[in-house]
Amino acid sequence: MRRIYAPILPIAAVVSVACSSNPQTESSSASSTTQSTSSTAATNAPMESSRAVSGGGISAAGWTGRIDASEAKRGQVLSNAKLASDGGGLHITTGPAVAYWNPSNTASGNYTVKATFTEPKYMNVNDHPHPYGIFIGGNDMGTDAQSYLYCAAYGNGSFIVRGFGPEAFQLNGRRGAENAAVHKAAGVGSPVTQDIAVSVNGDKVTCSINGTVVATYNKSEVVGAGKLKSTDGIYGVRFAHNTDGVVSGLTVTKP
């Protein structure tokens, strides 16, 4: 087996700035598939304003990003979130919901992208759980036409699979689903860690969390009009609004 590794890089303090946003509530047409657990998660989560991060911006060499279109419409900007390198990882603090990537990080054919996500202090910058995870299939990134698919975990035992094409489309519900494989924080302020992997293999796209496949989709469910242009493309990380976490070990492997 040939392995290709792409290193990655670590988040900071947040200052509250009112700017109403809840990217997890964007409505769109959706198609769902088999999951090990299908109960909905956090369906009654309240609205919460996106903050602006003190000293925000991107300082990790080679990296860039783009906030959700819904955030931009509310006056948010990329510099209201923060991406910084810290040792061997990336430290991300949001701010508006955002996708970050290094344009040199691409994957095609059959592959697996994986990384470890650590929320050092669960819910330390939000009032309800917010997700963070991996995206794949990034095309036209940084433009209004960008498309990508992401699988993200919450620190309360839930996960969400969603995409932009360029409008948001759902794959496992408006707010995701619970799954026993997803780690739960012991409480607010406690650390929680998730190992997340997204794989493309033949006609299947899968998301695994902490070593367990939590969702599997046919390519026809994720590629097409209003969805991904292709599963080939840029990969990176996505964080919801008002979230603080560290990403380590971002790699792509080929079978």
Exposure on the CB side of residue 194, measured as CA atoms within 13 A: 32
Query: Do 127 and 48 touch, CB atoms closer than 8 A?
Result: yes
Judged by phi (left if over 0) then psi (alpha if -120 to 50, else beta), residue 155 lies in: alpha
Q: In the prediction, which pLDDT does 111 show?
A: 98
Q: In the prediction, which pLDDT does 46 show?
A: 54
Q: In the prediction, which pLDDT does 187 show?
A: 97
Per residue in 148-186, pLDDT tens? 999 999 999 999 999 999 999 999 988 899 999 999 999
Query: Do 136 and 6 touch, CB atoms closer than 8 A?
Result: no
- Please tell me the pTM assigned to this model: 0.83
Average pLDDT, the chain: 86
Per residue in 14-45, pLDDT tens? 333 333 334 343 333 333 333 333 334 443 45
Query: Do 79 and 95 touch, CB atoms closer than 8 A?
Result: no
